[in-house]
Amino acid sequence: MSQQIVLLAIKSLVDDNKQPTLALVKGRLSSRQPMPLVIEAINAYKRDPSIIEGLTPAEPTVTPTNTLSLEKRVAELESQVAILLKRVTQLEASH
């Protein structure tokens, strides 16, 4: 799985018409990967460039429970903002 993450970074560089180097690949990685793994993936690509064909990035999944907790949190924040706006309005009116 980790090597696939590195191969996806290499594919991204190749898609941008850039030659994958250690620095460029590490710069494209979304998470830290061990240096030997990155080097091995680059070497594997150099041995067989077709290794990156057909790779697609995994879509992040949103779980319904995560969405519900976000919606609940937004509702709480909106309620707090409404209360604070009411207090600000009262303070401005008293001065």
How do the pLDDT tens digits run along the chain, 95 residues long? Answer: 688 999 999 999 999 999 999 999 999 998 889 999 999 999 999 999 999 988 887 655 555 556 668 888 888 899 999 999 999 999 999 87
Work out the number of other CB atoms within 10 angstroms of the CB of residue 47. 8
Burial class (CB in 10 A: 0-12, 13-18, 19+), 10: buried
Tokens of 10: 């290499």
| pTM as predicted | 0.59
Q: How far apart are CA 52 and CA 15, in angstroms?
A: 10
Q: How far apart are CA 42 and CA 45, in angstroms?
A: 5
How much is the CA Rg of the chain, to the nearest whole Å?
A: 24
